[in-house]
Amino acid sequence: MKRLLVALILSVLLIGCTASQGGAPAASNKLQLKGSDTELQMFAALAEEFKKTNADVDITVTGGGSGTGIAALINGEIDIADSSRPMKPEEIEKAKVNGIEPVEFIIARDGLAVIVHPDNPVGELTRAQVADIYTGKITNWKDVGGNDDAITLYGRQSTSGTYVYFRDTVLKADYASTMRNMEGTSAIVDAVQADKTGIGYVGIGYLTPEVKALTLEGQNPTDKAAVASGAYVLTRPLFQYTKGVPAKNGPTHKLMLFQLSAPGQKVVESTGFLQVTSADAAANEKQLARIG
């Protein structure tokens, strides 16, 4: 019986190995990406597309939040950190102390939508109102023109770049402690879609018909032009930080070129984000020039 079990295990392993021959290169080209959950879908999709023309590069993508990726980069554990917020000066310092220079690239643009349940009569808020809601100063929907219901706050966890970006840009203070820290963006969407009194913040790539995106300062995030031009207040760049200047023609260099190319940016769009602006592209060119 033991022999049966051993045989079973070995055969599954063998099947597994042969079945994915196309995807199991004897490559020494391995790239590890880690970080933003917001960008996880996008980078996984980009990695998949990239693989079609670069079968010898092995890419693994893990989520956990921008903070996770940045910490891993500082710890020297990964090649590229995906981050939906810029690295803080202290973090860059820590990396340098460890002998790592984070090199910043902008891969996409994102809008951050504030969402509520579709049945919520409130359709528009000012930036100040959103801040007051999330810091706990406003606790009832009736104070912003809605029903007499207590507001249920949904947000990300402190590992999330989105959490940090939203706090540092909109609140400029700590979140109310009653905010439920959801595991990931889709958890926020699920929660708000089921909760008539809920409010949440998510990247526009995660918007579904089951939730309503609020208009902020006269602009709605579903208006792609408004987000692309920056007219919508909550637009932000999405970053990747590489472990030092990428080696010329190395896997990181190739991946970066692909991601910033036209086909790559098309993949970016297909996952719900926006292409980089010309200003972003210029900044990227400067970094790429360092590769020589």
Partner 1 sequence: MSDTLSEKAYLTLVALSAVSALGILLAVILFLFAFGGSALSADFIFNNWNHQHIEQAGVLQAIVGTLALAVGVFAVSVPIGVASAIYLTEYARSTWSVRLIRLAIRNLAGVPSIVYGLFGLALFVQLLALGTSLLAAILTLSAMTLPWIISAGEESLKTVPLAYRQGALALGATPWQTIRHIVLPQSLSGMMTGAILGVSRAIGETAPLILVGATFFMNGLPTGPLDKFMALPYHTFILATQHADPHAKSYAAATAIVLIGLVLMVNGVIFYYRYKIRKKTLGEIR
Partner 2 sequence: MKISEKHIRIFFQANGILSVLVLAGIFGFLLINAIGAFQTITLGEFFGTTWNPTSYVQPQWGILGLLVGTLLVVAAALLIAVPLGLFTGLYLSNLASPRVREVLKPAVELIASIPSVVLGLVALLVLSPLVASLFGLTNGLNALTAALIVAVMVLPTIASLSEDVFSAVPDAYRQGGLALGATRWQVLRRVILPSSLSGIFAATMLGLGRAVGETIAVLMVAGNALAFPHGLLDPVRPLTANIAIEIKEVVTGSTHYQALFAMGLVLFIITMAFNVLAELVLQRHMKRLGA
Q: Which residues bind partner 2 (CB under 8 A)?
A: 64-65, 67-68, 70-71, 74-75, 91, 94, 152, 157-159, 164, 167-168, 171-174, 176-183, 191, 194-198
274 binds, among partner 2, partner 1, none (CB under 5 to 8 A by kind): none
Query: Which residue in 35, 36, 39, 63 binds partner 1 (CB under 8 A)?
Result: 63
- Give the residue with the Cβ less far from partner 2, 86 or 221: 86
**In the bound complex, what is the minimum distance in angstroms from residue 279's beta carbon to partner 1?**
28
Query: Which residue in 154, 165, 175, 206 binds partner 1 (CB under 8 A)?
Result: 206
Cα pseudo-dihedral 225, 228, 230, 235, rounded to 10: 120
Query: Would you say the C-alpha torsion 77, 79, 83, 86 has a positive or negative sign?
Result: positive
Longest dimension (CA), the chain: 71
Query: Which residue in 35, 36, 39, 58 binds partner 1 (CB under 8 A)?
Result: 58
Interatomic CA distance for residues 66 and 36, integer angstroms: 4
- Give the residue with the Cβ less far from partner 1, 187 or 245: 187
174 binds, among partner 1, partner 2, none (CB under 5 to 8 A by kind): partner 2
Instruction: Tell me the C-alpha to C-alpha distance, in Å, between residue 206 and each of 38, 172, 177, 257, 292.
Output: 8, 24, 25, 26, 37
- Give the residue with the Cβ less far from partner 1, 52 or 286: 52
179 binds, among partner 1, partner 2, none (CB under 5 to 8 A by kind): partner 2
29 binds partner 1 (CB under 8 A): no
How does DSSP classify residue 290?
T
Interatomic CA distance for residues 259 and 132, integer angstroms: 38
**105: helix, strand or coil:** strand
Query: Which residue in 7, 53, 77, 263 binds partner 1 (CB under 8 A)?
Result: 77
71 binds, among partner 1, partner 2, none (CB under 5 to 8 A by kind): partner 2
DSSP labels, 173-237: SPPPTT-EE-SSHHHHHHHHHH-TTEEEEEEGGG--TTSEEPEETTB-TT-HHHHHHT-SS-EEE
Which residues fall within 8 angstroms of residue 255, CB to CB, at 6 or more apart? 31, 46, 47, 50, 54, 57, 59, 80
9 binds partner 1 (CB under 8 A): yes
44 binds partner 1 (CB under 8 A): yes
**In the bound complex, what is the minimum distance in angstroms from residue 9's beta carbon to partner 2?**
19
Query: Which residue in 69, 86, 184, 200 binds partner 1 (CB under 8 A)?
Result: 184
CB contact at 8 A, 25 and 34: no
Burial of 144 (C-beta count, 10 Å sphere; 0-12/13-18/19+): middle
How does DSSP classify residue 98?
T
Which range of residues in 46-54, 136-144, 258-266, 277-285 is near partner 1 by CB under 8 A? 46-54
**In the bound complex, what is the minimum distance in angstroms from residue 269's beta carbon to partner 2?**
29
Burial of 4 (C-beta count, 10 Å sphere; 0-12/13-18/19+): exposed
Query: Which residue in 140, 186, 220, 287 binds partner 1 (CB under 8 A)?
Result: 186
Which range of residues in 93-101, 112-120, 136-144, 205-213 is near partner 1 by CB under 8 A? 205-213
